[in-house]
Structure 1
Amino acid sequence: MPPPQKKSLSLFGLAAFAIVSLFLGAYYRFPSLDERPMHTDEAILAMKSAEYQATGHFKYDPKDFHGPGLHYITRIWSRLAGWDGSATWTEAQLRTVPVICGLLLLLTTLLLRNALGRLATGYAMLLISISPMMVYYSRYFIMEVPLVLFITLSIASLWHYSQGGGRWWLVLAGFSIGMQHALKETFVINIAAGFLGFAATKIMVGDFAPKISGYDIGASKTRAAKPWLWVILTAVITSIAIYSGGFKDWQAVMDSALTYLNYFERSGGSGHEKPWHYYLSLIFWRKDGLVWSEAMIGGLGIIGMLYAFLGNHMKQPARQAFLVFLSVYTLALFFIYSFLAYKTPWSILSAQHALTLLAGVGAAAISSSISGTFLRFAFRIAFGLGLYHLVSQTNHAIHKYAADSRNPYVYSHTSTNLMRMLPVLRELQKIAPDDNFNVLVINRDSGWPLPWYWRDIKSVHYTSAVPEKIDARVIIAEPEMKPAIEAKFDGRSYHMQDLFGLRPGVFLNLWIEQSLLDRYNLRKEQEKQQNPQP
C-alpha cells in the first residue's frame, strides 16, 4: 500500500522559512562591510559611480567596465539612504547596494513558489541565505548579484504570465531584461540558455499549462496580443533609456551593441584562462590549503534535476515544465561558461543560483518521499549538518579569509598588506612643507585600488610607465622599475621603504624624499615622547 500523500507546506510554514532565511541572509551580509580591502574592480566601479553622481552623466566604455546599470541603482539607493556627497562615500556604504540586491534576490524566490513548490521554495531560500558564494558576492560592489536578481525576476515574470497572468508581467519581464543588458553585457549567455531550456521543455514536456497564480499583478481575462513583442519593446526601451542617459547619448547605445566584438576577443581568455572544470570545482570541491565545497547544494541540485524529469507530475504538468526548463537552463549555463576559456569565479553566480533553486527542489523531493519517524529525523539531522558546514565556510569566507587567496571566491584581490601604506601617505601629506606634496604612482594597472583610497588627494598622479623626469616627493612603483626610477633621481636623496603587497604576485616599493622622511621620523619621535608606552 503506498504511503499517505503528505500535505503541502502551509503558507504559515513558508512565511516562517522566509523570515528565518531573511534574518540569516541579513546576518551574514551586513556586518563588517568595510573589513575587506577594495578589489580593483570594486574601486573602479566606485569611482565611476562617484563620477556619475557628481556629473549626472555616465561615460560608457565599450572595451571594459560594463554598462551603467549598477551606477543607476547606486544613485537611487544613495538618495533613499540619505548619503552625503560622493566624496565621502565609504566602502561599507557602496557594498550595501549588492547586499540589498542579495536580500531582494532571496525574496524573489517567493515569486516562484508555485513553480518550485512551497517546501522547495523554503529550502531554496534557506540555502541562498547562507551559501558561501552567494553571501560573499552579495558583499562585493560589482554587478553580479544585481544581474542575478533581474535574471530571476524576468524568469519569474514569464512564469506568471504563462500561468494566466496579465500583460504587466510581460512588461516586468522586459524591464528586467533591459536592466540585465544595462548591468552586464554577458546577459546574452543567460538569454541563450533560457531559449535552450524553453525549446527543450517544448520538445520533452510540451506547453506550460495555464494555471492562475496567486501573485498576479494586473491579470486580465484576455491574453496580450503578440506577448514577445511586449517583452522585447520594454527591454529595448529600458536599455536605451539607461545607456543614453535619458535618450541623450546615442553613441553609448551604439557602443553597447558594438562592444560584443570586444567580448568575442576576451572569450579566448585575456589572461583569465582556466580549465573547463574550474566552475565545477567551485561548487563541489576546491582545496588550496583549505577545503571549500558547496557539494550539498550541488548534490541536491542534481536530485532536483532528476525529479524534474522522473518525478510524478501528473497533477502538475505546468510545474514539471518549469522544472525541466530550469534544469536545462542550469546545465546550459554551466556548459557555456565551462566551454569559454575566460573564467572568473563570480561569472558563474547565475548558474549557481539556478542550481540552488533546484537544490531546494531536491531537498523537498527527498523530504516528501521518506516516511517513518526515524528516517525523517535522520534527514533533518543530515540537512542540518549540511547547513552547518555551509555556514562555517561562509564565516571563513567573509571574515578570516575575506581577502586570502586560499579562499576560492577571492580572485586577484588587493592585499591587506597594502592597507599599511595608506596612513603613511596621509601622515606625509600633513607634514609636507608649504603644501609642496606630490606623489607619483607607477604601476601597470595605474595602482588600482589606490585611486579610490586617495581620491581626495589631487597631487597623486598615476602612470603605467616610468616618465622621463621624476620630481615627486613620494614615489610608489613596482620593484622591477627600481633601476629606471633611481637613475632619474638627479641628485635628490630618497629612502626606499619595505615592500608592500598590491595583490598576489604584484608588489610596490615606496620611496620618500629624505627631507620629508626626516620630518616624518621627527613627528613620530615627538608623538612617542608625548605618549610614552606603559
Structure 2
Amino acid sequence: MYKQQKDRASLIIAFFVPVLIASLIRFWDLDLRPFHSDEGVNSHFLINLYKTGYYRYDPSNYHGPFLYYIGLIPTYILGFTDFSFRLLPVLFGIMTVALLYPLRKRFGAMGLLTAGLLVALSPSISFFSRDTIHEIYLIFFSLAIIVSFFLYSETRKSRYIYFAVASIAFVITIKETYIITFAIFALSLIIAYCFEVGLSPKGTRYARFKNIFTTFASECKRHRYAVGISVGMFFLINFLFYSSFFTYYEGVNGILRTLKIWSKTGMHTGGHAKPFIYYFKAVYRYEMPVLVLGIAGFFYAYRQRNKFTIFMAFWTILIYLIYSLVRYKTPWLIINILLPLSIMGGIFINGICGILKRKWHYAVFYPIYVCVIGFLCYQAIKLNFINYDDERCQLVYVQTKRDIYNLLDRLKSLSDVSGKDLDINIVSKEYWPLPWYFREYKNAHFWGRMIDNLSAPVIIVDKSGEDELKKKMKGDYKKERFILRPGVWLNVYMQKGLYEGVFGKESTSKTSAQPMAKVTRDELEPGLVGNFFHNVECAGKPFLTKVENGLISFTYNDETKKPYRSPFGIKWEGYLSITQKGMYKFATKSDDGSFVYIDGNMVVDNGDLHAMRYISGVVFLDEGFHHVRVEYFDAGGGAIMEFLWTPPGGSEAIVPANVLLHKRENSSQK
C-alpha cells in the first residue's frame, strides 16, 4: 500500500513539475519578443477572418487553415493583443508536455519527469511555443497520434480510435509536412513489429507475423462502428477546415495539390537551402543535454527491444534523416526532431534508474542530473529572454529586432498630438510585421512600392527606394532610421513641423550644424570612444568599450582575419575639432553599413547590407568642437571601414586622429 502511494506521488510530481516549468517559461513576458514576419502574415489572415469571415485556403501560400480558425477563439474572448495571438501556441506547448503522462507506464516516473523537463526546457521547443506559427500544433497532434495508438494497444478501448483519427485529421489541416510525419510513423511501426517478430523463436515467426494482420482485421471488425464513425469524422474535419466551413469548396482540392507544390519548395536551392548537417549543429549548440540523453536512449532501446522503444528510436532517426535531406530548412522544423529525441532521453533515464541500487549511486546520479537540467534551463532562459533577436543564434531566424519598439514609441508620440488618424505611407518593399503593430492607425497605407504625391506626415521607406522617394517627397522632413530585421533598415521620414513640435527643435537647417556649447579643450582627450556590440544595430550592452586613438580605418577580407565574430557593430562617439569654418565633406567607404552624424544630424547614410561602397555628404561647420558619432556594422563576409573627410581647400583623406577627441570621464576602458 505504501509503495503504491509512493509510486502515485512520484508520478504526480513527474507530471506537474514539467508542466509548471513549461507554463512559467512560456507565459513569462510573452510579448517581449517582437512579432516575426511570419507571425505578421498569420495575424493578417486572422484579422481578416475575424472582421470579414473571409478565408480562402491557397495551397501555394502559408500552409493549412487550422492556425487561423483555432486562433479565433482567444481573439473573440480577449481581442487583438500580442498575448491573445500567442496564447494558443503557449497552451499547445504546455499540453505537449502534459501529453507525455499517458505514456508513464512505458518509462516510469523518472523517465516521465525527464522527458517532460527536456520538452519543457528545450530552448528550441520553448522558443517556438512562444511564436504563432504552425509547428507547435503539428508536434502536439503528432504526439497525440502516438499516444492514442499505444493506449489503444494496451486497453483496446474504442475511444482511442477516435482520438487517433481526429489527431490525424488535424495534422493534415495544419501543414503540408504531414506526409513526412505519416510516412515516418508507418515505417517506424513496421520496423518495430519486425523487431518484435524477429525476436520470436524461429518456429513461431511466421505465425506471429500472420497474427499481426489477423489481429488488425478482428479489431476493425470488433470496433466497426467506431472505425466507421472515425472515418466519417476524418473527412468531416478536413472538409470543414479546407472548405472554410462550407464557404469555399475549391479549398478542398488543395489538400493534394499542395503536396506537389511544397515538394518542389522542399528541394529548391533558394535562400532557405541549408546543408545536411544544419539541424545537428543546432541541436549540438543549443540542446546538448537532449542530444546526449537522446543518443544514450538508443542504446537502451536496443537492449530492451520492445515495440515502444524501437518505434521511438526509429521515429527519431528517420525524422532527423528526412528533415536533414530536405534542402529547405528553417530552425522551427527542428522541434519535430527534438520531441522524439526528448522521449528517448526519458527512456534512457528510466533505464539508468532501474540499475541504481546503492546510496552512493544516487549521490552521484542526482547532482549530475540537476546540473544537466539546470544547464538546459539556462540555455532556454538565455534564448527566450536575452538573445531572442540576436542573429548570431542559429535558432533566431530573420527575427524582427527590438528596435521596432523604438519606432512604435516614436509614432505613438506623434499620434498623441495628431491622433490615431495620423497619415502614414509605407512604401518600403519589406514591412512585415508592421501591419500588426500599426493596426490601430486608421490611415496606415502599406503600398509596398513607390507612389506619387508623397506628402503624408510619416513616410517609411527602405534603402532601395530612398533616392526615388527624395524626388517625389513634398515638404521638409526629419529622418530617423530603425532596423526591422537583419539586413532590412527602415528610414522613417517625419514632417519637420510635426517632428519639432513633438520632439523639439534640434537644428535650424538640414545642411548646417552648430558647435557644441560648454566644451573646452581642457576637458577633452585624444581619440573617440568606441562601443562594440554583438549585433548590427549597435543596441544593448556593449561587449567592449575602448578609446580609438588612431584612424578609423580597417580592412578584413574574410571571417578568419576579423578580431570579432560577425555580426557585430561599432559606435564611435566624441568630438570633432574644427579650426577653420566652411563646408566639409564627410564620407565612409564600408562593407557592410556605416553612418556619420555631426551634432545629431545624419550627414552620411551608407547603411544596409552591401559590398564595399562609398557614400558622402556635406555640412557647414563653424570653428569649435562638434559632436560626432560614427557607426559601422558587419553582418558577415568581408569587413571594411574608412572614415573620410575633405576640409575646405583640402583633398580627401582619412579623418586624422588629432581632430578626434572625447571627454575625459568617458575614457575608461572596460
Q: Same fold (TM over 0.5)?
A: yes
- TM-superposed CA distance for 1:233, in Å, is 4.5
> Could you report, residue by residue, the CA deviation over 1:25-60 in whole angstroms, capped at 9, with x for unpaired residues?
112111101111111111221222222222333222
Deviation at 1:181, TM superposition (A): 1.5
Aligned length in residues: 487
In the other structure, the counterpart of 1:304 is: 297
Whole-angstrom CA distance in 2 between matches of 1:228 and 1:339? 36
Task: Report if aligned partners of 1:303, 1:362 keep a CA contact under 8 Å in 2.
Answer: yes
The counterpart of 2:54, out of the listed 54, 57, 61, is: 57
Task: Quote how far apart the aligned CAs of 1:364 are.
Answer: 1.3
Residue 275 (structure 1) aligns with: 275
- What pairs with 1:230-309 in structure 2 (closer than 5 Å)? 233-267=232-266, 268-285=268-285, 293-309=286-302
Q: Which moved more, 1:225-234 or 1:416-425?
A: 225-234
Deviation digits for residues 218-237 of structure 1 (CA, Å, limit 9, x no counterpart): xx997324987766543332
Higher mean displacement: 477-486 or 353-362 = 477-486
Structure 1 range deviating more: 382-391 or 198-207: 198-207
Shift in Å, 1:271: 1.4
Alignment match, 2:343: 357
- Partners of 1:369 and 1:227 in 2: how far apart? 42
Does 2:417 match 1:397? no
Q: TM-score, normalised by structure 2?
A: 0.68
Question: Contact 1:60/1:68 (CA < 8 Å) preserved in 2?
Answer: yes
2:166 maps to which of 167, 175, 181: 175
User: Distance in 2 between the 1:470 and 1:145 partners?
Assistant: 42
Distance 1:221 1:171, change over 3 A: closer
Query: 2:493 is matched with which residue?
Result: 511
Q: 1:483 to 1:186 in 2, by over 3 A?
A: same
In 2, Cα distance between equivalents of 1:436 and 1:394: 41
Deviation, structure 1 residue 498: 3.0
The 5 Å alignment of 1:52-131 reads 52-79=49-76, 82-83=77-78, 86=79, 89-131=80-122
- 1:275 Cα deviation from its structure 2 partner: 1.3
CA distance in 2, matches of 1:359, 1:508: 45
1:495 aligns with 2:477: yes
Measured after TM superposition, the shift of residue 485 of structure 1 is: 1.3
Give the match's secondary structure for 1:498. Answer: strand
Q: How much does 1:520 deviate?
A: 3.0
Residue aligning to 1:528: none
The structural deviation recorded for 1:523 is: 9.6
Report SS of the residue matched to 2:392.
coil
Matched, 1:201 2:201: no
Q: 2:502 aligns with which of 517, 520, 532?
A: 520
What is the match of residue 375 of structure 1? 361
- 2:150 corresponding residue in structure 1: 159
Q: Which residue of 2 aligns with 1:189?
A: 180
- Tell me, in whole angstroms, the C-alpha distance in 1 between the residues paired with 2:64 and 2:375: 37
| Alpha-carbon distance, 1:395 to partner | 1.1
CA separation of 1:436 and 1:515: change in aligned 2, threshold 3 A: farther
Cα 1:381/1:522, change in 2 over 3 Å:
closer
Higher relative strand content: 2
Report deviation, 1:137: 1.4
Are the aligned partners of 1:9 and 1:119 in contact in 2 as well (CA < 8 Å)? no
Q: Percent identity?
A: 26
**Hey, what's the Cα distance between the residues in 2 that align with 1:521 and 1:119?**
59
CA shift for structure 1 position 172: 1.2
Computed over aligned residues only, the root mean square deviation of the Cα atoms, in angstroms, reads 2.8
- 1:141 aligned onto 2:140: no
Greater Cα offset, 37-46 or 333-342: 37-46
Correspondence for 2:223: 224
Structure 2: gaps (5+ residues): 198-207, 213-218, 508-670
Q: Distance in 2 between matches of 1:77 and 1:431?
A: 33
**Secondary structure at the counterpart of residue 275 of structure 2:** coil
Stretch of structure 1 that moved more, 410-419 or 363-372:
363-372
Which letter maps to 2:428?
A: N
Q: How far is 1:102 from its partner?
A: 1.2
Q: Deviations over 1:65-104 (max 9, x none)?
A: 222212222223445xx32xx4xx2112222211111111
Distance 1:296 1:437 in 2: 51
Equivalent residue of 2:472, what SS?
coil
Is 2:481 the counterpart of 1:484?
no
Instruction: Pick which of 67-76 and 340-349 moved more.
Output: 67-76
Once residues 417 and 513 of structure 1 are traced to their aligned partners in structure 2, the CA distance between those partners, rounded to angstroms, is 21
Question: Displacement, 1:187?
Answer: 1.7
Look up the equivalent residue of 1:506 and give its one-letter code: V
Contact 1:170 1:230 in 2 (8 A): no
Whether the aligned pair in 2 keeps the contact of 1:62 and 1:256 (CA below 8 Å) is: yes
Deviation at 1:123, TM superposition (A): 1.8
Match in the other structure for 2:437: 453
1:471 aligns with 2:455: yes
**1:428 corresponds to 2:414:** yes
Deviations 1:151-173 (A, max 9, x none): 11111111122224223211211
Cα distance between partner residues in 2 of 1:396 and 1:431? 39
Would the aligned equivalents of 2:500 and 2:506 in 1 still touch at CA under 8 Å?
Answer: no
- Displaced runs of 4 or more, over 6 A: 6-9, 207-210, 226-230
Residue aligned with 1:247, SS: coil
Q: Is the 8 A contact 1:116 1:323 kept in 2?
A: no
Q: 1:465-512: CA deviations, max 9, x gaps?
A: 2234433332111112211111223xx233342321010111111112
Given the superposition, is the C-alpha separation of residues 480 and 77 from structure 1 closer, same or farther in structure 2, using an over 3 Å criterion?
closer
**Could you tell me how far 1:105 is from its partner in structure 2?**
0.9
CA distance in structure 2 between the partners assigned to 1:112 and 1:231 by the alignment: 23
User: Do residues 413 (structure 1) and 399 (structure 2) align?
Assistant: yes
Q: Is the 2:481–2:492 contact (alpha carbons within 8 Å) kept by the matching residues of 1?
A: yes
Shift of the 326–233 alpha-carbon distance from structure 1 to 2, 3 Å rule, reads farther
Partner secondary structure for residue 499 of structure 1: strand
- State the Cα distance separating 1:117 from its structure 2 match: 3.8
Letter in 1 for 2:272: H
For 1:260, give the aligned amino acid: L
AA of the residue aligned to 2:490:
L
Q: Secondary structure at the match of 1:416?
A: coil
Judge which range, 511-520 or 143-152, deviates more: 511-520
- Structure 1 residue runs of 5 or longer lacking an equivalent are 1-5, 211-219, 286-292, 314-319, 526-534
Secondary structure at 1:493's aligned position in 2? coil
CA deviation string 1:443-462 (max 9, x = no partner): 333x1111100012231111
Letter of the structure 2 residue corresponding to residue 272 of structure 1:
H
C-alpha displacement of 1:176: 0.7
**Bigger relative contact order, structure 1 or 2 (CA pairs below 8 A, ≥6 apart):** 1
Aligned residue number for residue 425 of structure 2: 440
For the structure 1 residues 78 and 513, does the alpha-carbon distance in structure 2 shift closer, same or farther, using more than 3 Å as the test?
Answer: closer
Q: Decide whether aligned partners of structure 1 residues 221 and 40 sit closer, same or farther in structure 2, where only a CA change above 3 A counts.
A: closer
Q: State the alpha-carbon separation in 1 of the partners of residues 317 and 467 from structure 2.
A: 52
More helix as a share of residues:
1
Describe the shift of the 1:221–1:344 C-alpha distance in structure 2 as closer, same or farther (beyond 3 A): closer
Alignment partners' CA distance in 1, 2:287 and 2:233 = 37
Alignment partners' CA distance in 1, 2:504 and 2:334: 52
Q: Based on CA coordinates, which of the two structures has the bigger radius of gyration?
A: 2
How far does residue 424 in structure 1 lie from its aligned partner after superposition? 1.7
Match of 1:248, as an amino acid?
Answer: T
Amino acid at match of 2:442: K
Change (3 A) 1:221 1:330: closer
